[in-house]
Amino acid sequence: MEAGTYIHLLRGEHLPRVMELTALAGWNQTLADLERMLSIAPESAFGLWRGEELVSTAMAFSYGEELGWIAMVLTHPDARGRGYASRLTARAVEWLRGRGTRWMKLDASHLGQPVYERMGFVMESRMERYLRPGEVAAPGEWDAGLSQPPESAEIPLALDRAAFGADRGHLLHLLLRVPGVRVAVVPDGGGYAMLRPGAKAVQLGPMVCRDLAAARQLLHWALHASDGSPVQWDIHTGNEGALGLASAHGFTVQRVLARMVLPGTGAVEGTGVVEGTGVVEGTGVVEGTGVVEGTGAVEGDAGFRGLGQAAPPQPQGNQVYAIAGFDFG
């Protein structure tokens, strides 16, 4: 460990500094978002200090034994290139592994992807962030009756569980308590959407629907409910319906990220796989995955069949019309 640096849990008094780091990165989180994250992960929100200065962060969120999520990996621009983010990500992985988490995921920028590949993560799919500039939505074609008070919204949790691939009911209930959040629910459990305030734009997501018709309804609701503010929308590129809706409603791509996955616990006997990483010793390549050498890209699916493990939780790409943001998947 570099002299003069140490890792410690983040606490409420550190969040203003974390906000400074998010602003430097151009991210959309608000202080209320960070407070909610800390309430979800009080024992897995890590910071790295250099002397008296907080210079890097990472958080781990647990969705039970099925899945863990790593997010808020941030480093001050003046402190990059020293391995701080890698150290914190390793700490987050260690924490999730200690809980018996079978799979871990994160969304990586083009700068972060090589770092995570060296840790054994492989690319599973791609996410695209879309933005619609602030403007008043055209009248008509929306149903004000879809709106529900956040405190009593009836989110179709069974649909969300099947679509997301893991139980995130606890997270959804916490998101409903974010100040300023708006919620719409399609009748008969056909789908739901959330709009959350952001530092730069209103965040659309999560949005989970049984079909394209429900997604179109919820998008029209969201554009009216945003009251002319810019709207940010994070989409799994496997959902062609969502991509089509984004294009038709004036959204344009702002960022492309790689969704990456890492096996949690257990090694395959006799393969040389490093326990908990899925990395073949001495190669950095995941055995049996179809990883394209030097790219981290996976041909077909996430490709862990060669490890003798069940495949990682997979979202139903045709039902997840907006992820919950890069923070939560």
The SS3 of residue 89 is: helix
Is residue 329 included in any domain, yes or no? no
| Angle of the 15-25 helix axis to the 31-40 helix axis, nearest 10 | 120
Question: Which residue type does 74 have?
Answer: L
Residues 169 and 76 in one domain: no
Give the DSSP H or E segment for 104.
strand 103-108
Residue 153 has pLDDT above 50, yes or no: yes
Residues 171 and 64 in one domain: no
Residues 151 and 220 in one domain: yes
Residue 206 has pLDDT above 90, yes or no: yes
Is residue 327 included in any domain, yes or no? no
Per-residue pLDDT, averaged over 165-189, amounts to 92
Is residue 299 included in any domain, yes or no? yes
Residues 249 and 275 in one domain: no
Is residue 28 included in any domain, yes or no? yes
Strand partners, 6: 49
User: What does DSSP assign to residue 290?
Assistant: -
Is residue 310 included in any domain, yes or no? no
Residue 289 has pLDDT above 60, yes or no: no
Residues 263 and 246 in one domain: no
Residue 209 has pLDDT above 80, yes or no: yes
Dist. CA 148–CA 105, nearest whole Å:
31
Query: pLDDT: is 293 or 319 the higher one?
Result: 319
Dist. CA 311–CA 76, nearest whole Å:
35
Residues 118 and 267 in one domain: yes
Is residue 169 included in any domain, yes or no? yes
Residues 192 and 142 in one domain: yes
Dist. CA 129–CA 255, nearest whole Å:
5
Q: Using the Cα atoms of residue 15, residue 21, residue 24 and residue 27 in order, give the sign of their dihedral.
A: negative
Residue 68: closest CA among 302, 324, 261, 282 = 261
Q: Are 125 and 236 in contact (CB under 8 A)?
A: yes
Residues 35 and 183 in one domain: no
Dist. CA 5–CA 286, nearest whole Å:
32
Query: What CATH number has the domain bearing residue 73?
Result: 3.40.630.30
pTM score of the predicted model: 0.83
Residue 274 has pLDDT above 70, yes or no: no
Within 13 A of 126's CA, how many CA atoms are on the CB side? 14
Residues 193 and 288 in one domain: no
Q: Are 321 and 242 in contact (CB under 8 A)?
A: yes
Which residues contact residue 13 at a Cβ distance below 8 angstroms, ignoring those fewer than 6 apart?
none
Is residue 312 included in any domain, yes or no? no
Number of structural domains found in the chain? 2
Parent domain of 190: 130-255+318-322
Dist. CA 34–CA 298, nearest whole Å:
32
Residues 285 and 182 in one domain: no
Strand pairing class (5-9; 202-209): unpaired
Of 60-74, 96-110, 223-237, 307-321, the range with the lowest mean pLDDT is 307-321
Residues 223 and 280 in one domain: no
Strand partners, 280: 273
**pLDDT the model gives residue 225:** 92
Is residue 309 included in any domain, yes or no? no
Please state the φ and ψ torsions of residue 77, each to the nearest 5 degrees: -55, -35
Average pLDDT, the chain: 85
Dist. CA 81–CA 263, nearest whole Å:
26
**pLDDT the model gives residue 253:** 97
Residues 60 and 22 in one domain: yes
Q: What is the pLDDT of residues 245-267, one digit of tens each?
A: 999 999 999 999 999 999 987 43
Which residues contact residue 28 at a Cβ distance below 8 angstroms, ignoring those fewer than 6 apart?
198, 199, 200, 201, 203, 232, 325
Q: Are 69 and 262 in contact (CB under 8 A)?
A: no
